[in-house]
Amino acid sequence: MVSGTVPSEEARDGIYMTVGEALGLKRKIRELKYTTGGGKGGDSNEDVGFMERTTFEGLVNRMKLPMANQVNVKLSVVEVSKKFMDNVGIDWSNAGLPTGQFSLTKFKFDATTLNNMIYAMKNDSIARVLAEPNLSVMSGETADFLVGGEIPIVTTNSDGVSVTYKEFGVKLGIAAKVENQKPDKAQTV
């Protein structure tokens, strides 16, 4: 077991790696994958590379940080017309993704430009804001938000009746990791 208080996540991870390697323990790499709803294309897994975690068999990491790192993300879910997207130059058909899925990582906007576009669209009635949630996520963890809901699906078989719930709407997942005490890596899936 490795325990103590460390100044940063980088120090914690570095110490853990050094001890595990020095003891010659078997290494396991855990990748974070999100399962995305697939529409017509079926479900697919999105890899969130910067959230990869290495663990060593038999080595427990009990190191603590003086304060928890947290990332707060302000989101805007906006409905716009196809004409507007064509004018801006967004072509979903060339994004290289299965039908029913999209990723904004294929397009290069900085936060200020995107915020200004959303503000201008709201003022010109070109867009309709569906939701503006704030998501807070601990560094190294994930959070998600569903604009929509769940509908019950009733199934009858020889064992009786069962009810399952299917999500509808837009679901946004966020993974964040603070490095160098700055929230410089975040990914939406």
- The answer to whether the beta carbons of residues 180 and 164 sit under 8 Å apart is no
- The answer to whether the beta carbons of residues 29 and 53 sit under 8 Å apart is yes
Listed residue (142, 151, 152) closest to 176, CA to CA? 142
Residue 123 lies in a domain: yes
**pLDDT band per the 50, 70, 90 thresholds, residue 39:** very low
pTM of this structure: 0.50
Q: Which domain holds residue 95?
A: 76-132
How many folded domains does the chain comprise? 1
Listed residue (85, 92, 84, 90) closest to 125, CA to CA? 84
Residue 106 lies in a domain: yes
Q: pLDDT, tens digit, for every residue of 147-187?
A: 789 999 999 988 899 999 999 887 878 877 777 655 444 54
